[in-house]
Each structure stands twice: as structure tokens, then as C-alpha cells.
Amino acid sequence: MFPGADGYRGDRPIAAEESDRAEFVIVGAPLDVSTTFRPGTRFGPRRIRTFAEAFDDYDARTGLSFSELGVRDAGDVRAWDDAPEYLEYLEGELRGAVWDGAVPVVLGGEHTVSLAGVRAVEPDVLVCLDAHLDLREAYDGNPLSHACVTRRILEGGVEEAIVVGARTGSEAEWGRAAEDDVTVVPPEAVADAEIADRLAGREVYLSVDVDAADPAYAPGTGTMEPFGLEPRELRDVVREVAPHATGFDVVEVNDRDDGQAATLAGKLVREFVFSNAAPVPG
């Protein structure tokens, strides 16, 4: 269970009928079939939950308590090695949360799981924090590789992908990124990007690949890429985009560090929930 979710509200148990009225549903998606260089994303959901245990319930910025925001941790959707079948099943689980009026929050797992989240939510825009463009047609012959997820999402009808923090890609990927339906915000431009100005009146799915962070802050991921974002920059983008988002994930956390990547991921989950739930300033 994600700390502060379901089960208890403050110091008292939540009645079953209260728990059923979830505003946010957390789902672990430990898919780990196409990760490259360093595998281990199958351990991501568990590690995110574990390293989030120390976080305080109360958020001074918003004046909200995590345990009072209707967050339900639905546990993990156990992964298997048939990626298309798994994504279809995961999509169904997430769509159930959407139909119940909740915001799905996915703990990855490799970045491929974002495809299921987007299909369930059907947004207008994907905003993705990522070191990589993930716009390959296929990687090692696999069109459902984590290196292809943004391209697959665009093919599914999303109007635009805004890739924040990208700093590497193949020549073909940069060519695809030059088309009108892709906007790349490099690390040095993130602070002044004003991403929310592009989102008015549009539904958004927000995805955080933890490798968007500089590996000094999040070494526990499969394909580290230097010259990345600082944690506060990721936090600020999540805070800015969350009020527009109807779905969220954080992905590509593995078990190859002392918890830095998982701790950052868990904190970003909480930042998303607080920022999505907070009243819009009048």
C-alpha cells in the first residue's frame, strides 16, 4: 500500500463506503521485458512504496493531507512477458478507475506501461519528462520497446507530445521530433518554458521517466543520461502540469541504487496528487 493511501485516514480506519469513493487510484505496473542496459523495473512499484514510507502526511504548501484526498492503492497488476497482452489488461484496469471518476496513478515498470495509461485516459496531450525522445519506430525489432513509447502514443491519436528534459535520441528520432505534433523542451529551457500556457482547455496525461533527472540524483534507472534535470525542476513541472492532468505515471525506477530514484519518484507522486487536488487559485 502506498503510505497514506486507503486503509487509514489520519489515525482512524476508513469505512468501506468511503474507500470506494476514490479520487486517485494507484496501480503498480512492474513490466520489465524491454528494459535496456540495466533491467530491474519489475522492482519499481515496490521500491517506490517502500521509500515513500517516511514522508509526512501533511503538505504545508497546499495545506492538504495525503490521507484525506481519497487515494486508494489498488496494488500491482502482475506483469508477464507478453507485452501486448499485458498492456491490454492494464489498460482495462486503469479504464475502470477512469469510469469510476478517479485519476489513475501508475507506478512503473518500464516506460512502455505509459501506453496503457494513455489509452485508458484518452487525453489530448502527453507531457512527458524524459531524458530520451522515445520516438523510435522499433528498437531491436520491437515496436513496443520502452524506447518507442512516445511514438506509439502519438500514433494512438494524441494531438501533441511535449517532451521535457530530452537530451538524446537517434537521428531519425530528432527528425520525427521536428514535426508539428512534438515539442521538445531541453533541460536548459525548462525553467522558462511555461508549459501550462499550452494546456488550457486540453486534457493531459503526465508521465515522468525518472531518467529525466540527472543520474547524480536518480542512479537507479536503466539508461542513465548525464546533464539532466535537478529534482526541483521535475517537481516544478509536475506542479505546473498536474492541475490539467487526468492521468499520471512515474516509470523506469529499478533496484540499482540505495533508493534515490524511488524516493524521488515517490515524492513526485505526492506532488502530483497534492497539486491535482488543490483548489485552483481564484
Indicate the DSSP class of residue 217: T
**What percentage of residues in the chain have a pLDDT greater than 90?**
91
Q: Flag whether pLDDT at 280 surpasses 60.
A: yes
User: What is the rounded average pLDDT of the residues 79-103?
Assistant: 97
Helix (H) or strand (E) holding 81: none
Predicted pLDDT at 11: 36
Q: Tell me the pairing of strands 24-29 and 103-108.
A: parallel
So where are the chain's domains? 8-277
Fold of 8-277: Arginase; Chain A (3.40.800)
Predicted pLDDT at 183: 98
* Each residue's pLDDT tens digit, 188-208: 999 999 999 999 999 999 999
User: What is the rounded average pLDDT of the residues 89-96?
Assistant: 98
Q: Say if CB 206 and CB 241 are below 8 A apart.
A: yes
Predicted pLDDT at 27: 98
Predicted pLDDT at 25: 98
* Each residue's pLDDT tens digit, 162-192: 999 999 999 999 999 999 999 999 999 999 9
Predicted pLDDT at 5: 86
Instruction: Provide the pLDDT confidence category of residue 2 given band limits of 50, 70 and 90.
Output: confident
Considering the chain, what is the average pLDDT of its residues?
93
What pTM did the predictor assign? 0.94
Predicted pLDDT at 279: 77
* Each residue's pLDDT tens digit, 195-248: 999 999 999 999 999 999 999 999 999 999 999 999 999 999 999 999 999 999
Q: Flag whether pLDDT at 7 surpasses 50.
A: no
Question: Hey, which residues does 207 pair with through a beta bridge?
Answer: 128, 249
- The C-alpha atoms of residue 63 and residue 85 are separated, in whole angstroms, by 42
Instruction: Provide the pLDDT confidence category of residue 20 given band limits of 50, 70 and 90.
Output: low
Query: Which residues 6+ apart lie within 8 Å of 244 measured at CB?
Result: 196, 199, 200, 202, 203, 204
Predicted pLDDT at 1: 66
